[in-house]
Amino acid sequence: MASDPIRNDHWRGLQLAGLIGSAWLVTLTAGLRLPIQQAHPLLIAGLVLLRSFLHTGLFIVAHDAMHGSLIPHRKLFNRFIGQGCLWAYAGLSFQECLNHHIQHHHSPGSKTDPDYFNAADSSPVAWYARFLSRYLNPMQLLKLASWMGVLLLMIPANQDQPLLTLALIYVLPLIISSWQLFVVGTFLPHRKSAPETDDFHQPISLDLHPILSFAACYHFGYHREHHSYPAVPWHQLPEVRTVYNQF
């Protein structure tokens, strides 16, 4: 593994993580209290998209925690923050996600890569279904249902349709976020792997301007740079890409 070309400013990472987490909590609280039936459709659509982007941010923060780059040399703090983000994201287990991710980095694009799909039907939909199956086991679904039950209790009693509110403020952003992470962070970077071989491959990066890259998935589309320098946090990947492209 190559040495990191950029020094990790962990305070910046913590500040961004705090901003993402705070914005997620504020929009969650406001959204659950929003009178959905009286709100303008454009307001609801904007809130759903914002919540989706912030929801993805939770996973990205947890992803940095898996690599120990959120707070370098502080394993317990990384695990604590990462687990909190993953629980809020979908009741996910940090250890299970960490195990999958280590294996993904160890053998990307191979038959042992838990995020790779090598089959006759390698369409995005089939790959996405297989991608979700790695995380949505019965125990995970039970934890997710329990978390959504807690969110239902947070909705004011005067809300006419609490299930609709939950669907728009939490469930739909979760679905959009999972698709965003899959397409930008898995399917597009890894789709060119050689079929039916045990050899892992070098992922590609999406050729996006840094602003579009951030909007697409917190620079997760700069995937080759991430695999080359996994200890570099998400917010420094554009700098790594600049250095990387000089060689």
- Taking the C-alpha atoms of residue 80 and residue 100, their distance in angstroms, rounded to an integer, is 18
Average pLDDT for consecutive 10-residue bins of the chain (247 residues)?
A: 57 93 97 91 96 98 94 90 96 91 81 68 78 82 93 90 95 96 90 54 88 96 92 93 70
pLDDT at 1: 45
CA-based end-to-end distance of the chain: 16
Return the domain boundaries, the chain.
10-200
pLDDT at 194: 43
Distances 240 to 8, 231, 233 between C-alpha atoms, Å:
11, 11, 10
**How many Cβ atoms sit within 10 Å of the Cβ of residue 27?**
19
Distances 138 to 141, 143, 163 between C-alpha atoms, Å:
5, 9, 22
DSSP 50-109: HHHHHHHHHHHHHHHHHTT-SSTT-HHHHHHHHHHHHHHHHS--HHHHHHHHHHHHHSTT
What six digits make up the tokens of 150? 């807690």
Give the residue ranges of DSSP H helices in the chain: 10-33, 41-66, 75-90, 94-106, 124-133, 138-154, 162-166, 172-182, 188-190, 210-217, 223-228, 237-244
What global pTM score does this model have?
Answer: 0.89
Amino acid occupying residue 9? D
- Taking the C-alpha atoms of residue 224 and residue 205, their distance in angstroms, rounded to an integer, is 5
Contact criterion met (CB below 8 Å) for 81 and 20: no
pLDDT at 43: 95
